[in-house]
Chain A
Amino acid sequence: MSQEQEKVSAEELETALREYVDRANVSPRARKTLLSWTCRIHIQANDIEDAAFTYVVEKGESQPISVGLIGVPDLIVRGQSFDLAEIFWGDANPVSNYMQGAIKTQGRAEDVMRLDAMAMFIFLNQ
Chain B
Amino acid sequence: MSDQKTLSRALSLGGASAISTGLAFAALNFLGMAQMLDYINGPLAWLAVLAGGLVVLGVRACFSELDGIYPTAAGIRLWMARAMNDRLALVITLTYMTAIVLVIAADAFIIGEAMAYAFGNGTIIAVVYVAVLLVLATFLNLRGIKLAGTLEKIVTTVVVLATVIIGIIAIAKHGPTPPAPLHGGSPLQALILGIFLYTAFEWVTTNSEEVVKPKIIPRAMLVAIVVLAISQSIFAVAMGMNLGPDGRESAYPQLLVAEQTMGHVGLLLMLAVTALTAVNTFNGGFVTLSRFMYAVAREGKLPRALTTLNDRAVPVVPVILLGVSSLVLSIVVAVTGAWVMIVSMCAALEMMIYATAAFVVFRLRRQQPESERSFKLFGGQPMAIAIMVLFGLLALISSTTVGKDTNVIPLVILVAVGLMVTLYVLLYVPKLEKREAEELAARRAARAASRNAANNQ
Interface residues of A (CB under 8 A from B): 32-34, 36-37, 40, 42, 72-74, 76, 78, 86, 89-93, 95-96, 98-101, 104-109, 112-114, 116-117, 120, 126
Contacts and interface: CB of A to CB of B under 8 A. Distances in A.
Contact of A78 (B1, B9, B82): B1
B207 A109 contact: yes
A46 to B, nearest CB: 10
B74 A98 contact: yes
B239 to A, nearest CB: 36
Interface stretch (B125-133, B377-385, B440-448): B440-448
A101 B385 CA distance: 26
Given A101-B70, A105-B209, A74 B9 contact: yes
Nearest to B443: A91
A106 B2 CA distance: 8
A100 B81 CA distance: 8
Contacts of B7: 72-74, 76, 106-107
Given A74-B9, A108-B9, A113-B291, A32 B311 contact: yes
A37 B444 contact: no
A27 B97 CA distance: 34
B1 A72 contact: no
Interface stretch (B106-114, B157-165, B295-303, B329-337): B295-303
Contact of A93 (B8, B72, B298): B298
**Interface residues of A, dominant DSSP:** mixed
B300 A107 contact: no
B206 interface: yes
Interface of B: 1-2, 4, 6-9, 70, 72-74, 77-78, 81-82, 206-207, 209-210, 212, 291, 294-296, 298-300, 307-313, 440, 443-444, 447
A90 B313 contact: no
A109 B307 CA distance: 16
A76 B78 contact: no
18 contacts: A33-B312, A37-B313, A40-B8, A73-B7, A73-B8, A74-B7, A76-B4, A91-B444, A93-B298, A98-B74, A100-B81, A101-B82, A104-B1, A104-B72, A107-B7, A108-B210, A109-B291, A112-B209
A99 B74 contact: yes
Contact of B311 (A33, A72, A106, A109): A33
A36 B295 CA distance: 22
B78 A100 contact: yes
Q: Which 6 A-B pairs have the closest CB atoms?
A: A95-B298, A109-B73, A74-B8, A91-B443, A117-B313, A99-B74
Contact of A109 (B206, B296, B298, B309): B206
Given A91-B443, A99-B299, A106 B209 contact: yes
Contacts of A78: 1
Contacts of B300: 96
Contacts of B299: 95-96, 99-100
Contacts of A73: 4, 7-8
A91 B440 contact: yes
Given A101-B74, A105-B209, A117-B313, 11 more contacts: A33-B310, A33-B312, A33-B313, A96-B299, A99-B296, A100-B81, A101-B70, A101-B78, A109-B210, A109-B291, A113-B294
A89 B447 contact: yes
Contacts of A104: 1, 72
Contact of B295 (A40, A99, A101, A105): A99
Contacts of A76: 4, 7
Given A98-B74, A99-B74, A113 B207 contact: no
A120 B315 CA distance: 12
Nearest to A15: B454
Contacts of B312: 33, 36
B185 to A, nearest CB: 43
B370 to A, nearest CB: 16
A96 B298 contact: yes
A33 B313 CA distance: 6
B23 to A, nearest CB: 14
Contacts of B307: 120, 126
A78 B72 CA distance: 13
Nearest to A32: B311
Nearest to B288: A109
A21 to B, nearest CB: 17
A109 B209 contact: yes
Contacts of A37: 313
B4 A117 contact: no
A59 to B, nearest CB: 13
Contact of A106 (B4, B291, B295, B443): B4
Nearest to A90: B443
A116 B315 CA distance: 12
A98 B298 CA distance: 11
Nearest to A105: B209
Contacts of B443: 90-91
Contacts of B8: 40, 72-74
Contacts of B447: 89-91
B78 A114 contact: no
Nearest to B2: A106
Contacts of A74: 7-9
